[in-house]
C-alpha cells in the first residue's frame, strides 16, 4: 500500500526526498504560484519584525479545536493571494515568508513510539512536492548525490522553522492564559474562512508591572507590538488588491 504523506496548504502531493530520484533537480520558474490560492500563511516568531511592515499578523485556526498559529494575511478573499503575480513570482519589495521560501520542501513528523519515560518520540522526514521540480542548473542534490548550496539554504530554513514552533506555542499559550486574545471580525467584504484573533489592547495595557517586565525580558512585548502595528495593513491589503486588479 502506498504511503500518503500529508501535504501543507498549497502544496501538491509530497513524498520523501530521495538522493537518487531527485538528483539534478531544481525548482521550476514561478514556483511561488503554489501559494496563489493561499490567503493566510504560517509565520514564525522570528519573522514578526520583517513581516509586520507589509502584512497583517493574526493568530488563527482553520477550524474549532485546532491550535492557534501566527499567520500573515496575503489576501482578503478566500483562495486569493494578492502578493503573487501572473508569472508565479512574489511581488517586490514585499517580505517573502519562510514558509513560501522553503517550498517545495516540508518536514513531516512520524511517530516512532514511546521513550523509556513514556513520552511519544517523533522522526522528522524531509518531503518534497515533485511537481515543482525540474532538471536545471541549480539542483538541490547534484548528480553525485551530494548536497548543493541551494539545498543547504533550504535545509537550514526548514530546521529553523521547526525549531521556532515550540516558541510560538509558548507565546500563544501565554496570551491565552492571560486572556489577552479577542476574536476578530474583519470587514470590507473579507471572506477568508478562518477564526482569527488579535491581542486586545485594553487588556494588554492593564497587565501587571511584574508580568510586563517579565515579557520585556522574554521578548513577548516586542512581538505583541509588532502584531498590533501590523493590523494597520488591513486597509493596505484592500488598496493593493484594487491597484493590481486594475492592472489586470
Please state the rounded mean pLDDT for residues 191-196.
70
In the predicted model, is pLDDT for residue 188 greater than 50? no
Q: Is the pLDDT confidence value at 82 over 80?
A: yes
What pLDDT digit, counting tens, does each position of 222-240 carry? Answer: 999 999 999 999 998 988 8
Q: DSSP 3-state assignment of 125?
A: strand
Residue 114: is its pLDDT beyond 70? no
pLDDT bin (cut points 50, 70, 90) of residue 242 is confident
The order of strands in the sheet holding 40-42 is 40-42, 69-73, 57-61, 195-199, 181-183
Average pLDDT of the chain to the nearest whole number = 89
Average pLDDT over residues 56-71: 88
Give me the pLDDT at residue 63, please.
Answer: 72
Residue 244 is predicted with a pLDDT of: 78
Do 142 and 136 form a contact (C-beta atoms < 8 A)? no
Residue 137 scores a pLDDT above 70: yes
Name the grid cell of 98: 519562510
Read off the pLDDT band of 1 (50, 70, 90): very low
Average pLDDT over residues 134-155: 94
The three cell numbers locating residue 153: 539554504
Q: Could you tell me which residues come within 8 angstroms of residue 248 by beta carbon, excluding any fewer than 6 positions away?
A: none
Burial (CB count <10 Å: 0-12, 13-18, 19+), residue 184? middle
Confidence band for 189, pLDDT divided at 50, 70 and 90: very low
* Pair 22, 132: CB distance under 8 Å: no
- Given the C-alpha cell 533550504, which residue does it identify? 154
Residue-range domain boundaries for the chain: 14-242
Sorting pLDDT into bands at 50, 70 and 90, what band is 183? very high
Q: Which residues pair with 147 in a beta bridge?
A: 141
Are 98 and 72 in contact, with CB atoms under 8 Å apart? no
Amino acid at each position: 500500500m502506498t504511503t500518503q504523506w500529508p501535504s501543507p496548504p498549497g502544496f501538491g502531493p509530497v513524498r520523501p526526498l530521495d538522493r537518487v530520484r531527485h538528483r539534478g533537480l531544481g525548482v521550476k520558474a514561478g514556483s511561488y504560484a503554489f501559494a496563489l490560492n493561499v490567503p493566510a500563511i504560517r509565520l514564525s516568531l522570528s519573522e514578526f519584525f520583517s513581516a509586520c511592515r507589509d502584512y497583517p499578523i493574526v493568530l488563527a485556526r482553520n477550524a474549532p479545536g485546532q491550535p492557534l498559529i501566527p499567520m500573515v494575511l496575503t489576501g482578503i478573499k478566500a483562495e486569493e493571494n494578492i502578493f503573487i503575480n501572473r508569472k508565479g513570482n512574489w511581488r517586490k519589495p514585499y517580505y517573502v515568508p519562510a514558509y513560501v521560501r522553503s517550498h517545495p520542501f516540508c518536514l513531516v513528523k512520524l511517530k516512532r513510539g514511546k521513550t523509556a519515560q513514556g513520552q511519544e518520540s517523533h522522526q522528522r522526514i524531509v518531503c518534497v512536492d515533485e511537481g515543482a521540480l525540474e532538471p536545471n542548473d541549480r539542483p538541490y542534490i547534484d548528480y553525485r548525490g551530494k548536497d548543493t548550496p541551494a539545498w543547504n539554504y533550504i535545509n537550514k530554513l526548514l530546521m529553523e522553522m521547526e525549531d521556532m514552533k515550540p516558541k510560538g506555542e509558548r507565546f500563544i499559550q501565554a496570551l491565552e492564559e492571560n486572556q489577552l486574545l479577542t476574536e476578530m471580525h474583519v470587514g470590507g467584504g473579507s471572506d477568508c474562512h478562518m477564526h482569527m484573533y488579535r491581542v486586545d489592547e485594553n487588556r494588554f495595557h492593564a497587565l501587571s508591572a511584574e508580568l510586563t517586565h517579565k515579557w520585556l525580558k522574554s521578548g513577548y512585548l516586542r512581538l505583541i507590538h509588532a502584531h498590533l502595528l501590523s493590523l494597520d495593513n488591513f486597509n493596505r491589503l484592500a488598496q493593493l488588491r484594487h491597484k493590481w486588479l486594475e492592472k489586470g
